[in-house]
Amino acid sequence: SWAGARPEFRVIGYDAHGVAAHMGLLRRFIRVGDADLLVAELGLWGVRPDLEGLGLNHSIRVMYPVLQQLGVPFAFGAVRHALYKLVGRLCRNGLGTIVAGVRVRSTLSDVYLNLPPTRTEDVLVVVFP
C-alpha cells in the first residue's frame, strides 16, 4: 500500500555508518465499521540489519508529538505475522496494541488485466493511541 506513496512526515535516524533507521507517516481515510475515519498510517519502517535487536523499534515514540499535532485519533501499521515478536516487544509497555484477525484491503502497486486491482490480506495491525 506504500508503493508510490509520499509520506507527509519522515523520520530518519543516522549514526557514524549512515542511515540507522527510518519511518514514514501518511494520513489516510480508513473504514472502521460503517464510518470513514482519518488516521495516521505508519510505514516504510526499517532498521539497518546490524542494529536489529538493540531496541530501536522504540524510536516510534518520536512520532507521538506529530500524531498529537495532526489531531488523529490513532495511528496504525500493518505487519506480517512473522513480525509478531518484534511488535510484541514494542507494545508490551502499553505503547501500542496488536490486533489480530484483521483483513486489510489495499491497492496493488502494479495493474494487470488478469488480476483484481486490490488484494485482501490477513495481517497484524498495530494501533498506537
Q: Which domains does the chain have, with CATH numbers?
A: 9-128 (3.40.630.30)
Backbone φ, ψ for residue 73 (5° rounding): -70, -30
How far apart CA 9 and CA 4 sit, in angstroms, is: 15
How far apart CA 123 and CA 60 sit, in angstroms, is: 20
How far apart CA 49 and CA 47 sit, in angstroms, is: 6
The whole-number pLDDT of residue 4 equals: 66
Whether the pLDDT of residue 86 is over 80: the answer is no
Give first-to-last CA distance, the chain, whole Å: 22
pTM of the model: 0.73
Average pLDDT, whole number, for the chain? 83
Indicate the pLDDT class of residue 16, thresholds 50, 70 and 90: very high
